[in-house]
Amino acid sequence: MGRDKIRYLVYVNGRWRWRPTRKMRALGFRLETFGPALTVENKARAVALNEAWDRARRGLTPAPGRLYPSGSVGEAYERAMALRAAERKAKGVEWGRAQEARDDWPRAWKWIGALFGDVDPKTIRPEDFLRIDQKTGEAGGLLPKIEARVSKTEKHRVVKVWRALWKRMARMGYCALDADPSLAIVNTAPQPRQVVWTHKEVLRLVQGAWRRGKPGLATLMAVTWDTMLSPGDARRLTAGQMARDPAGAVFFVDRAKTGRAAAGTLSRWSEAILEAYLESLGVELLDTAPLFRTAGSEPGPRGGRRWVPRPYTKDKADKDFRDVRTAVFGLGETRQLADMRRSGAVEADAGGARVEDLSNKMANTIAASARLRKTYAPVNMPSVRRVDDARARGRARLKKPTPNE
């Protein structure tokens, strides 16, 4: 597919330019002008600039124009991140983009850095995290802000990272270990999500997405439902990861969160949808190209724009899913694409699946005794297929009305 649009690369006044946004310029990224013809070197430079921006906005590396004061939380954070990277290097652990994207530290730093980046940690008080606003009488501070804008789970995550960062800062001499202001506040873990989708509802979502001109999303949902992969792992699936066994199609993948091998099996239903979707693309994807794509645009050879399929990003997939969910079930529906993974586990449990088989299927440690076996043993395909059979039995049982209905 070599026609994906490169972000921030635009054609203006007869020349190609890498044009950062106002927010990016404030952090030190500057306009770069190329020539009237876009060369391979120009494209490589634009891609490198985008990667530098991605690392800066995730907090993995400092932005070109961002310097924190000596003794500040920001300076300590940059040293802590460098030490974490050095620790991984010493252990021979290599992180790819998938692992970096799941790192909680840069994610929490977006909140911590905005408030405390330039601040001496010894001056931070518990009230900076939580207080009563004197004007409104409502709860104020960093934690209510995070909860209101994102979720309780995000708030809990930020506090955990802050406390880990404080320990690092203390060991580097920035503050006293027992003086963490967040310890004055209880950081209670939120209750885990319990909501699930039914098979019938997923069928309606897939059909709704396809009818609304989003075949990539429809196929992503069908594959996510059958494989029980997380949406992030499913979104990154490629043609080269697909294989077949006597029972049908299967994707072999290392889960981004755990690094463990997973086998994502497809039913005849999801396999048929995948085949129809790939045929609708009209092109043959490379083995390394992401499967699931959405409509995008790029400059045409004679001016104007032309539409090309682009790989789904997390934000675009979430937005399209919300649009389809609202169209099918209305504004009151709040269940997420990620809830399909839990829904599959509920089906399997209702069908009598063994917890060891479910752990095999989901590539996690639902079965505590499976931890070391997962480290050293390959994926057990008969075990994975037993979960698929159990889901079919459980689905049938869940369809039966209860005596009170």
Query: Quick one: 139 and 47 in the same domain?
Result: no
Task: Specify whether the CB–CB gap between 8 and 19 falls below 8 A.
Answer: yes
Q: What is the reported pLDDT for 346?
A: 83
pLDDT score at 373: 37
Do 250 and 355 reside in the same domain of the chain?
yes
User: How many structural domains is the chain composed of?
Assistant: 3
Supply the mean pLDDT for the chain.
84
Contact 231, 347 (CB under 8 A): no
Structure tokens at 53: 């921006």
- Is 194 part of any domain? no
This model's pTM is above 0.95: no
What phi and psi, each to the nearest 5 degrees, are found at residue 398? Answer: -70, -25
Give per-residue pLDDT as tens, 300-319: 555 555 556 788 988 899 99
Secondary structure (3-state) at 376: helix
Q: pLDDT tens-digit profile of 6-38?
A: 899 998 888 899 999 988 887 778 888 888 888
CA angle 253, 255, 258 (to 5 degrees): 145
**Enclosing domain of residue 141:** 73-184
In a domain, 193, yes or no: no
Q: Is 192 inside a domain boundary?
A: no
Burial of 36 per CB tally in 10 Å (0-12, 13-18, 19+): exposed
Query: Are 239 and 331 members of one domain?
Result: yes
- Say if 67 falls within a structural domain: no
The answer as to whether 366 is a domain residue is yes
* 4, part of any domain: no
CATH number where 291 lies: 1.10.443.10
310 versus 214: the higher-pLDDT residue is 214
Residues 391, 244 share a domain: yes
Q: For residue 242, give the 3-state DSSP assignment.
A: strand
Co-location of 250 and 322 in the same domain: yes
What span, in angstroms and rounded, lies between the C-alpha atoms of 14 and 8?
A: 16
226 and 364 assigned to the same domain: yes
- Letter for the amino acid at 109? W
Same domain, 264 and 164: no
Residues 239 and 386 in one domain: yes
Domain-located, residue 1:
no
What digits encode the pLDDT tens for the residues 283-293? 788 888 889 98
Report whether pLDDT(2) > 60.
no
Q: How many CB atoms are located within 10 Å of the residue 76 CB?
A: 23
| SS3 category, 32 | strand
220 in the same domain as 360: yes
The reply to whether 131 and 278 lie within a common domain is: no
3-state secondary structure of 294: strand
Let me know whether 204 and 147 are in one domain: no
Tell me: do 93 and 48 sit in the same domain: no
User: Is residue 3 included in any domain, yes or no?
Assistant: no
